[in-house]
Amino acid sequence: LKGIDPLLNPEKGPPGKLWAPGETNRTSATLLSLVRNNELEGMISAMRDLERTFNHKFNYPWTFFNDEPFSAEFKERTRKETKAEVRYEIIPKEHWEIPSWISKDLMKESAEILTEKKVQYSKLESYHQMCRWNSGKFYEHPALADVRWYWRVEPKVHFFCDVDYDVFRYMEDNDKTYGFVINIYDSPESIETLWPQTLEFIAEHPEYIHPNNALKWLTDSKNRPNHNHKANGYSTCHFWSNFEIADMNFWRSKKYKDYFDHLDRAGGFFYERWGDAPVHSIALGLFEDKSKIHWFRDIGYQHIPYFNCPSSPKCRGCVAGRFTDGTGLDQEDCRANWFEFAHMD
């Protein structure tokens, strides 16, 4: 990674006061997972990793979300994986259903075209619903009303390194908004009109742009070798949102709410296949102070097919420095762009 060495003392974690187990005063936070009943085995595996490396020391509650009721088996077996409180929440219909202004016919037509363009999951309606919920709805769930911080966890992900400080307290004490581990490029065909819609929105609301924004990162014209990844002006480089440690107050702010509503009305969650990752990343890049975005270099992580794997005695089970074991995928890594255009200047 240009400009920053991921192997530099990751075992020390981030600088400044860190709260170790025992001395910590927990803040208002939850481990948060949207998951289906049939992903139980993958969820248990992810829970085991996160409990072993972090949560058995801090006991933050788990909150599971589903668009349908969790099975008795799902509840019994996940509960056994932690000493912490576990909550099982159903998503209200009005947060999950396809909005009334979306045309089903146009959706079907669009899905055909997107499928030809090889956009993954184009025809899976629930995938579009999931992306929209993760973009603009999850933090409005009543079960999270008194919760500020969340760590998003997906089934089947892996955690490799012991994390011996309270990451939520770290975020709060250091005035951070958003923590990530991996940045990659997106498929431009899935978000063709996302940037044009964003430009329309900021023309109406120039006051929302933060003076210390990361616009250069969003619009830089670096290319992956042999790919044109640009999506009508957006580089497509984004924080990979299957991992997020973040402040829900940012998503709950008026500026983000207005932005999400604009996108939601524009229809691209259904007529294209806008992901929550580019939506979150663009919002952070425009409306937040870029110094409030933190790279958790010390959290070893895998969601197939990518890794963040620091070189540290605290890590086991991944190859230090390896980004992927798929062939030809190294070029998808765009973390260096973040450090070059946003972080270091």
Which active-site residues does the annotation give?
Answer: 244
**Closer Cβ to Mn ion, 154 or 173, answer by number:** 154
| Smallest separation (angstroms) from Mn ion to the CB of 6 | 23
Q: Does 266 contact ligand GDP by CB under 6 A?
A: no
Residues pairing with 333 in the sheet: 184
Q: Candidates 35, 218, 245, 334: give the one binding ligand GDP (CB under 6 A).
A: 35
Could you say whether residue 155 binds ligand GDP (CB under 6 A)?
Answer: yes
Give me the least distance between CB of 41 and ligand GDP, in Å please: 12
In a 10 Å sphere around its CB, with 0-12 CB exposed, 13-18 middle and 19+ buried, how is residue 147 labelled? middle
Positions 321 through 340 that interact with ligand GDP (CB under 6 A): none
| Interface stretch with ligand GDP, choices 110-118, 126-134, 142-150, 202-210 (CB under 6 A) | 126-134
Contact, 136 vs 260, CB < 8 A?
Answer: yes
Strands (E) across 16-138 are located at: 29-34, 62-66, 86-90
Interface with ligand GDP, residue 66, by CB under 6 A: yes
Stretch that binds ligand GDP, among 17-25, 33-41, 195-203, 278-286 (CB under 6 A): 33-41
**Choice between 35 and 218, CB closer to Mn ion:** 35
Q: Which residue has the tokens 């009303």?
A: 145
- 34 touching ligand GDP, by CB under 6 A: yes
Q: For 204, list phi and psi in degrees, rounded to 5.
A: -80, -30
| Position 125 contacts ligand GDP (CB under 6 A) | no
Kindly state whether residue 184 participates in binding ligand GDP, applying the rule CB under 6 A: no
- Residue nearest to Mn ion as judged by C-beta position: 154
> Looking at the chain, which runs of residues are DSSP E strands?
29-34, 62-66, 86-90, 149-152, 158-159, 178-180, 183-184, 238-239, 244-247, 293-295, 301-303, 306-308
Cα(184)–Cα(305) distance, integer angstroms: 11
Cα-only R_g, the chain? 19
Distance of closest approach, residue 39 Cβ to ligand GDP, in angstroms = 5
**What SS3 class is residue 207?**
helix
198 binds ligand GDP (CB under 6 A): no
Amino acid residing at 75: K
The H-or-E segment that residue 126 falls in is helix 125-136
Q: Is 31 in the site for ligand GDP (CB under 6 A)?
A: no
Of these partners, Mn ion, ligand GDP, none, which one is at the site of residue 34 (CB under 5 to 8 Å by kind)? ligand GDP
The residues binding ligand GDP (CB under 6 A) are 34-36, 39, 66-67, 126-127, 130, 154-155, 242
